[in-house]
Amino acid sequence: MITRRSVLIGTVGVLAAPAILRAQTNTIKIGHLAPLTGAISAVGRYASMGATVAAEKINAAGGILGREVQLIIEDSVNPATASNKAERMVNIDKVDFLQGESSSPSAVAIMQVAERSQKIFMHTGGNSDKLRGEQCNRVTFHCDAMNTMYVNTMARSMLRDGRVTGKKWYMLTADYAFGHDLTRVVRRFGDANGANFIGEDLVPLDVADFSPYLLKVRQAQPDVVIINLSGLQVTNFIKQYYDLGLEFPLAGASTDIALAWAAGRENFSGEWPVIWLHTLDNPASKAFTAAFMAKYNEPPENQAWSDYVGLTALAQACNETKSIETVRLIEYFEKGATFESLKSRPSYFRSWDHQIMTEMFMMKPIAADAKADKWNWLTVGPPLPNADQPLEILAPTAEENACHFKV
């Protein structure tokens, strides 16, 4: 079990690191917060694991500015607790940076602490557009895709496959801010590209029996069912959908690979946007997956990717600027510095909202008769956007999601 103060990442790596690192008594402290208990703890677990693998890689290569990276990992629990723990990390632990958080409400709380303390926060999980828009701040860099990017990945893939213009769409939406955010972007894209919205149901988070909604879907006879549900709602819905014998194509706006793995191959279907999958065939992705497998005996998922990429990008920025000063690191990223993101194209942070610009993918299960173990039954199609298109085509414009940094 990962607990506070037991996580001094680099102890193993330091033994094999250069002498300058072994002799250095100072460390670079990174306060890492993630939901390690509660409804999305599976995602938070991968966040801490991804950051751990990144820290070990950085330390094995000499650390940050010759100093060992030390991770202090905490359970964020909820927004109030996340804020208190972030404050303690800054004021008592004297961390140099903050990282993590898969929950958007808790991420906002940490962002506020980071802004007050002028500490860089590598935000790796919450997907709300508002964090990059009206709630943005200049010390925060967003290492996961925002809701609009996930929706646009799904929608552009469907447009490419001829499943938008003139097609009947039926939506099921989680009845809270996350679901409403997804629906807003789905409607914007569908209206702009000629989709025919024939129905939508708002589904309370505590609903376990989806039969009333499934009967309405069957009666509507849609061309595509768009799923804007959250967490375990997704897997419960899919299981009941196929138990009822429905066969209308499913497309989801957002999910985590950890939830698909937990549901199992027999209870998961449809096509879903993801930011990364461990089966991507390129040297950097294979190396990360191999290191993760060697340490944890299971592959990394998308949240582990965000934390790994976020921390390695931060280390690159510090080593290339020869500084851990907030102002210099912000300038480095805002000038368009690119970094390795385990894909065919490098990624970067957009200067005006600090959102990562990166390739995305559509994920689906492999053929039912194909053999696979419990980790390797998912596959992804070609990256989006297309190679001749800018990465920013998936993200909202400044007019659609304005961010105004304080000077």
CA distance 398 to 50: 31
pLDDT value of residue 5: 40
Q: Which distant-in-sequence residues (6+ apart) come within 8 Å of 222 by Cβ?
A: 168, 169, 170, 198, 199, 248
Pairing of strands 121-123, 97-100: parallel
- 3-class secondary-structure state, position 173: strand
Check: CB of residue 292 under 8 Å from CB of residue 53: yes
Cβ atoms within 10 Å, residue 281: 7
Q: Which distant-in-sequence residues (6+ apart) come within 8 Å of 400 by Cβ?
A: 148
pLDDT value of residue 407: 67
Per-residue tokens: 75: 């359970």
Q: How far is CA 363 from CA 154, 255, 269, in A?
A: 10, 10, 10
Check: CB of residue 314 under 8 Å from CB of residue 97: yes
CA distance 310 to 340: 10
pLDDT value of residue 263: 83
pLDDT value of residue 52: 98
Check: CB of residue 53 under 8 Å from CB of residue 96: no
Per-residue tokens: 162: 């001829």
Please give the chain's pLDDT, 407 residues, in tens. 344 544 444 433 333 333 333 334 499 999 999 999 987 888 999 999 999 999 999 999 999 999 999 999 999 999 999 999 999 999 999 999 999 999 999 999 999 999 999 999 999 999 999 999 999 999 999 999 999 999 999 999 999 999 999 999 999 999 988 889 899 999 999 999 999 999 999 999 899 999 999 999 999 999 999 999 987 788 889 989 989 999 999 999 888 898 889 888 888 889 999 999 999 999 999 999 999 999 999 999 999 999 999 999 999 999 999 999 999 999 999 999 999 999 999 999 999 999 999 999 999 999 988 999 999 999 999 999 999 999 999 999 999 999 999 86
pLDDT value of residue 370: 92
pLDDT value of residue 192: 94
pLDDT value of residue 92: 97
CA distance 141 to 354: 5
DSSP 403: -
pLDDT value of residue 96: 98
CA distance 106 to 175: 19
Q: How far is CA 224 from CA 104, 217, 234, 283, in A?
A: 29, 10, 16, 36
Per-residue tokens: 73: 């990992």
The residue among 36, 133, 136, 132 whose CA lies nearest residue 78 is: 36
Per-residue tokens: 98: 């903050």
pLDDT value of residue 181: 87
Amino acid letter at 46? Answer: Y
CA distance 312 to 64: 10
